[in-house]
Chain A
Amino acid sequence: MNKTDIVISVKDLTVSFGSFKAVDGVSFDVHRGEIFGFLGANGAGKTTTIRTICGILNPSAGSVTVDGQDVSRSTAVLKPRIGYMSQKFTLYPDLTVHENMRFAGSLYAMSPKQIDERSRKLMEFIGLPQNLPDPVSHLSGGVKQMAALASALLHDPELVFLDEPTAGTSPQTRAAFWALIRRLAEMGKTVFVTTHYMDEAEYCGRIALMERGKIIALGTPQELKEEFFPVKPLEISFSATVQHELREALKQAGIVSAVFGNNLRVRASDRAVLDRACAPFAGQFDVREVPPTLEDVFLQAVSGRENK
C-alpha cells in the first residue's frame, strides 16, 4: 500500500502504570479509509492503546503520530478530527439523547441546527427513534450504545475510534453497527475498532491480535489464516469413548488439539504423523479438512507464543 496512505503510525509504543506494562513495545500503521480491528482478551492492552492514540493517555515510551504529527504534542489540532466511543458508557444519564447530542456537538462548534440535522441522519441510519423523551438512564442497553455511537460520530470525524462498541448488544444491533462502520469506511473514514467477537473481526480490513501488551499477529484476515494455517486445520469427529486416549496420542505425537463441541480441531503440518498417531483408533474417528476461522488463528497465535 502507498506510504502516503498511512494516517496513524504507532512506533515502539509502551504505556506503563507503575511497574505494569499495559502496552509493551507495540508498532503498527493504520491506513486511511481502512477498518482496522484490534482483537484480544480483556486486559490485553487494547483500550490502553486506543486511549493513547486518542491523546487521552500519554505514552511512557515510543510515539504515536497522526499524519506525521505527534499526538501528545498536537492534541488541539487532532481532537476535532477524532471521534471516540469509550468502552464505558459515557453519555450523561440524566440528560435526554437530544440534550447529550446538543452538548457533544456544541463542543465541536456545531450550531444547534447542524447538530439536529446530523443526528437525525445518524439516528435514521442506525434505526434509532427520534426525540426520545426520556433521560438516557431509562433507555435499554442497545439503544444507549447506539446513542453513544451517534454522539461520537456527530461532528463527522475522519478518524473513528470504537472501543468494544458492540459489547453486550443484541445480534440486530451488532449488524446495524457494522453496517454503519462499513458505510463510514466507504466514505473514506478511518475506523479503528476493538472487539472480542471473532466473527466481527472478519469484517475488518486488517486486524492486530493483542496479547499481554504485545501484538502477536497482524494482517488481513486472509493473510493471518494463511500465515498460521499453511495447511488447513483438520477436524476429527470421534466416538466419545476414545476422546482421552485420542488426545493423549496426539499430544505424544506433538500435535496441538482443541475440543470444539463433539469434534477435535487439530493443526497438523504433516498428515502422515497424524495418521500414525491415530492408527490405533481406526474406525472410531473421521478426519476432514476445514477452512480456518479467526478463532483458530487466535488460539494458534496465543499457543504458539506460549510454546516459545
Chain B
Amino acid sequence: MNFSWRRAKSVAYKEYKHILRDPFTLAVTLILPMIFVGMFGFVIDLDYKHMRVAVRDNDQTSVSRRFLQEMASSGYFDLSPVHTPAAADRALEQNASPALLVIKRGFGRNIRAANPEKPAQVQLLADGTDNVQASIMGSYMQGVVQKANAVFMRDNPELAGGAEGAARLAGGQIRSRFLFNPELNSRWFIVPALSTIIIGFLAIVLTALTVAKEWENGSMELLLSTPVRPSEIVLGKLVPYFVLTFLDVLVVFVLAVYVFRIPFLGSFLFYMAACWVYITGALALGLVISVVTRQQQAAIQFAFAVGLLPSFIFSGFIFPIENMPAFFQYFTALFPQRWFLLISRTVFLSDAAPATLAAAFGAIGLFAAAMILLAVHKFKTDVEP
C-alpha cells in the first residue's frame, strides 16, 4: 500500500478543523506578528539622534563657534557648554552626557594657517560603557568634521587656493557611502528581517504541538491502527499550518511596505517562493520536534529554544555574521534563519537578480527537504513508551 493523497487530504482537513475550533491559537497566530512588527518598527529605534554632548570650548573664536554650529545642525548631537574643567569632569562622571567635546586653544588659528604640520584638532571623549553609542558617536563625529572642513574651505577661498590645499584638508579621510540604505535607517534594516523571526518562531511552535497532542490524548493510538502512513500524517499536518503561516508573511509584508514605507525593490515572486520554502522548513522542524518528544510540554520548550535562539543570535538579526569568529560563521550556515534573513533583506532593499541569492535559496530548500524526511523517518509507528 503506497502513499495515498486521499488520506493525506483527510488529515489536512481534520487539522484545518482543529485550527478553526481553537480561536485562541488562531488569534495569537494572526495578531502576534502585528505586535512584533509594531514593537520593532515603532518602539525600538536603533538610530541615535540628539545625543547629549558637553562642550568645553577653549578657543572661543568665530571658527570654533562655526564648528559647533555645524555639529549642532547635524541633528545627532545636543550640545551643552561647560565653562570649567571641573564642570566638564562632572558632566561625564554624573552621566549627564555620554560624551565630552574639547576644542583646544588655537583651533581657529590653526584652521586659518592651514599648516599640515600643525592641524587643527578637536577631542571627543565618549563614555565607553555604552560601546555602541560611543562608536556611533565617533563615526558621526567624522561626518561632522568632514562637513566642517568643506564649510571652512567654502568660507575661506584662500584655504582652497590650490588643488593642493583642498587635498590637504580633505585628504587621507575615509569616505563611506552606504548603498541601498543611504541613511542607514534601522527600520529599513529590521522590519524586513522580522518575517524571518516571526515565521521561524510561530511555525515551529504551531506544528511542535500537533503530533505531541495526538500522543497525549490517545488519538495517535487509533491513527496507528488505521492504514494511514507517517508520510501522509506529516504532509496532512503541514498544509493547513502552511496556509496559516503564509497569512502571517502577508501581514508582515503589508505592514512593512504600506505602514512603514519600506521600499520593496526585488522580485516579489522570488520572495514569495523563498517564503514558501522557508515556512515549509520551519513547520517541518516543528513536526520533527513533536514526533521526537511526543509530549506537548517538552515540545514547546524545544520549540522555543530552537525557534527563538538561532533566529536572534545566529541569523545576523542582531549580531552581524561577518564579525563572528570563523567557526561560528560556518555554524550559522546550518540555520535556515540566516539564509532567509539574507534573502529577505536583499529583496526588500535591492533589486539584485534572484540568481545572486541562489545559494541562500538552495540552503533553505535543502533544510526543508531534510526536515520533512527526518519527520517521516522519526515518526514512531508503534505505541511502545
Contacts and interface: CB of A to CB of B under 8 A. Distances in A.
Interface of A: 17, 51, 54-58, 75-77, 79-80, 82, 84, 86, 88-95, 99, 103-104, 106-109, 135
A17 B225 contact: no
Contacts of A80: 227
A176 B6 CA distance: 34
B181 interface: no
B154 interface: no
B18 A17 contact: no
B333 interface: no
A51 B10 contact: no
B85 interface: no
Given A57-B384, A90-B219, A108 B17 contact: no
4 shortest A-B CB distances, which residue pairs?
Answer: A88-B218, A106-B10, A90-B222, A84-B225
Contacts of A108: 226-227
Nearest to A57: B382
B179 interface: no
B228 interface: yes
B4 A92 contact: no
A79 B227 contact: yes
A18 to B, nearest CB: 9
Contacts of B21: 94-95, 135
Interface string B200-239: 0000000000000000011101111111100000000000
Interface residues of B, number: 27
A90 B385 contact: no
Contacts of A75: 381
Contact of A107 (B10, B22, B217, B384): B10
Given A82-B225, A92-B18, 10 more contacts: A51-B383, A56-B381, A75-B381, A76-B1, A84-B222, A86-B222, A93-B217, A106-B7, A107-B10, A108-B227
A58 B384 contact: yes
B14 A103 contact: yes
A108 B17 CA distance: 19
Contact of A79 (B6, B225, B382, B383): B225
A77 B227 CA distance: 9
Contacts of A90: 217-219, 221-222
Contacts of B223: 107
Interface in B2-48: 4, 6-7, 10, 13-14, 17-18, 21-22
A71 B13 CA distance: 30
B226 A92 contact: no
Nearest to B227: A79
25 contacts: A17-B384, A51-B221, A56-B382, A57-B382, A57-B383, A76-B1, A76-B227, A79-B227, A80-B227, A86-B218, A86-B221, A86-B222, A86-B225, A88-B217, A88-B221, A92-B14, A93-B217, A94-B17, A94-B21, A95-B17, A95-B18, A103-B10, A106-B6, A107-B10, A109-B6
Contacts of A93: 217
Nearest to B7: A107
A7 to B, nearest CB: 17
Contacts of A79: 225-227
Contacts of A91: 219
B18 A107 contact: no
A56 B225 contact: yes
B224 A107 contact: no
Nearest to A82: B225
A92 B381 CA distance: 19
Contacts of B13: 103
A94 B22 CA distance: 8
A82 B381 CA distance: 16
A106 B219 CA distance: 16
B9 to A, nearest CB: 8
Nearest to B1: A76
Contacts of B226: 79, 104, 107-108
B8 to A, nearest CB: 10
Given A94-B21, A99-B17, A103-B14, A56 B224 contact: yes
B236 to A, nearest CB: 10
A94 B18 contact: yes
Most interface-central of B6, B18, B21 (chain A CB within 10 A):
B21
Contact of A92 (B219, B382, B384): B219
| Most A Cβ at <10 Å: residue of B7, B10, B223 | B10
Nearest to B380: A56
A56 B385 CA distance: 12
B208 to A, nearest CB: 18
Contacts of A55: 225
Interface string B362-385: 000000000000000000011111
B225 A54 contact: yes
Nearest to A16: B384
A94 B210 CA distance: 13
Contacts of B217: 88-90, 92-93
Nearest to A103: B14
B258 to A, nearest CB: 36
Contacts of A103: 10, 13-14
Nearest to B383: A56
Nearest to A85: B222
Q: Which of B6, B221, B223, B385 has the most CB of A within 10 A?
A: B221
B67 to A, nearest CB: 71
